[in-house]
Structure 1
């Protein structure tokens, strides 16, 4: 029995020692971004487009899906938000980017209650406020989705570097309308390419998964819209694209 107790004690000390060693080996955490000094474990970048009318049902569906994505993301994933708007100040002001910290901790190496409180105050509350604000941005006369997406990706620290997995989520009707390109003017992939705009692509989605939460827009030329975005995302280097329609009927 004595030998058994000693073995059990040594095993327990070994487990504690392993936890302490693992904690000591972790990179320090930036107090502002909540990200490790050696970079995030991945990226979840969410761009919301409310430049055209969106029903309350669609807004709730988008919020629920985004919340599920964030809840399911691994610890220290960098969660970034921005909006589509013709107003550069609104786009810049909407940008939010934080790493998701652990929501709990082992009682052996930390205070689970304190970690949970910090998770709620430092991450959940600001993310919830940012998402609520983005979903409440009013309609606009233009929908510069292409420009807003590229600007958004360049704002995210470390997005285009390293091997961390990357996922971009677009909550939009996909109906681009700006001076550069507009489906309402009859533009399509051929006109985009012939204008020279395709030569300006930044290839900023290389090895990135793209998830589209689509807001239906029946009046739009859907076949042209679908063909353009398929070609555009492929040219930008997206590794996979999935689309889910957020209907309201």
Structure 2
């Protein structure tokens, strides 16, 4: 009688076993990653419905002050808006974006104030609803920001330009700005030609007269550690050397970490 041959099952060798172990390990890692994403999302701080800011505070500040107290050309307004929108787009998620205007009317300054945190514009399908996230970004953030810019850039000129006073009121109104340890950036759209009862270049004011008047003792150092970006509207009739010298000293005294000027021409 012929001896029976033992049949060998194909695929049960060491290679198959290692492949199975690798697939199981990969699946466990994937489930672990998904679980970690869900756990991380569940532990995120809540979001304030009015400001869109996290309950534990924004990731930073972008404060934008617009000065239209003197004539501004359509070309300059368009350039200013484009640069402001680029700054907002580049800002990290949950940056608090704040706006206000320069005006001799304290009521108008207060009414122009707007402050919202920038929410995420997209989300993973694993941890959120991408469509709802995109809608909230568009409707609750982008649209109000666009409407705010429309209004601020259309404010008519005034008979005085209290830039320093407007800046101080603005920064004081931004929740948490003064004590923030996160990055802070201030954008000034202005010709820098201060003209108010406190100080005026049109009355021959300069840094020395500002100091001698005692006004420098009132500086709040509210820009300590902040970066300042100036979108400058050139004003040929103003004493440029005096204006430049004053603001270099003023921003330094206020504690600004860095100042970056850009001229918005109209030719």
Regarding TM over 0.5, the answer is yes
Per-residue CA deviations over 1:227-248 (Å, capped at 9, x if unaligned) read 0000000000000001000001
* Matches of 1:107 and 1:11, distance apart in 2: 19
Out of 162, 170, 176, the residue aligned to residue 188 of structure 2 is 170
Q: Is 1:211–2:219 an aligned residue pair?
A: no
Out of 108, 124, 128, the residue aligned to residue 146 of structure 2 is 128
Per-residue CA deviations over 1:161-216 (Å, capped at 9, x if unaligned) read 13111000000000000011000000000000000000000010000000000000
TM-score by length of 1: 0.98
* Matches of 1:230 and 1:18, distance apart in 2: 49
Tell me what 1:196 maps to.
214
Q: Secondary structure at the match of 1:204?
A: coil
Out of 30, 33, 38, the residue aligned to residue 12 of structure 1 is 30
Larger Rg: 2
CA positional deviation for 1:21? 1.8
Out of 73, 79, 97, the residue aligned to residue 79 of structure 1 is 97
TM-score by length of 2: 0.92
Q: Is 1:152–2:165 an aligned residue pair?
A: no
Q: Is 1:70–2:88 an aligned residue pair?
A: yes
Per-residue CA deviations over 1:3-36 (Å, capped at 9, x if unaligned) read 3332222121111112112112211110000001
Query: Which runs of 5 or more residues in structure 1 are unaligned?
Result: none
Out of 107, 111, 124, the residue aligned to residue 89 of structure 1 is 107
* CA RMSD, 1 decimal: 0.8
Q: Is 1:184–2:199 an aligned residue pair?
A: no
Q: Secondary structure at the match of 1:190?
A: helix
Q: Is 1:115–2:149 an aligned residue pair?
A: no
Q: Secondary structure at the match of 2:63?
A: strand
Tell me what 2:46 maps to.
28
* Matches of 1:205 and 1:67, distance apart in 2: 22
* Matches of 1:187 and 1:148, distance apart in 2: 18
Which aligned pairs between 1:202-241 and structure 2 lie closer than 5 A?
202-241=220-259
* Runs of 4 or more consecutive aligned structure 1 residues displaced over 4 Å after TM superposition: none
* Matches of 2:21 and 2:150, distance apart in 1: 59
Tell me what 2:11 maps to.
none
